[in-house]
């Protein structure tokens, strides 16, 4: 499955809060927590199941002064890590992900 052309939602098994400029994510199953920087938080908050990852990548380019290839690589690395840790779910269509949990 092409991750850039996929839709993502936050797992229902996580809790997250904004702490100063960072987002702190807690996996409720494992007890592990993770910290995202400002750009990671932007991506995280955009994972609503309604937009393709490629659209979120474009929004990051519009909001931050970053090289497109670097941003693409960073977005894919972060989404892969979030998937690996069970913090997000991947969907082929937007309809699959519309019941994701609301932000705090």
What pLDDT, in 10s, does the model give residues 32-87? 999 999 999 999 999 999 999 999 999 999 999 999 999 999 999 999 999 999 99
Determine the length of the chain. 104
pLDDT score at 21: 78
Residue pair 1/92 in contact (Cβ under 8 Å)? The answer is yes
Partners of 14 in beta bridges? 27
The confidence band for 100, taking pLDDT boundaries of 50, 70 and 90, is: very low
pLDDT in tens, 34-49: 999 999 999 999 999 9
In the chain, where are the structural domains located? 3-88
CATH architecture under which domain 3-88 falls: Orthogonal Bundle (1.10)
Report which secondary-structure segment, H or E, holds 77. helix 68-84
């Amino acid at each position: 499955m092409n991750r850039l052309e996929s839709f993502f939602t936050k797992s229902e098994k996580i809790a997250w809060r904004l702490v100063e400029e960072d987002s702190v994510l807690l996996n409720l199953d494992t007890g592990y927590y993770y910290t995202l920087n400002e750009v990671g938080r932007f991506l995280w908050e955009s994972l609503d199941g309604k937009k393709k990852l490629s659209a979120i990548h474009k929004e990051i380019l519009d909001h931050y002064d970053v090289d497109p290839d670097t941003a693409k690589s960073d977005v894919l690395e972060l989404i892969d890590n979030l998937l690996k840790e069970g913090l997000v779910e991947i969907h082929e269509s937007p309809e699959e992900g519309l019941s994701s949990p609301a932000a705090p």
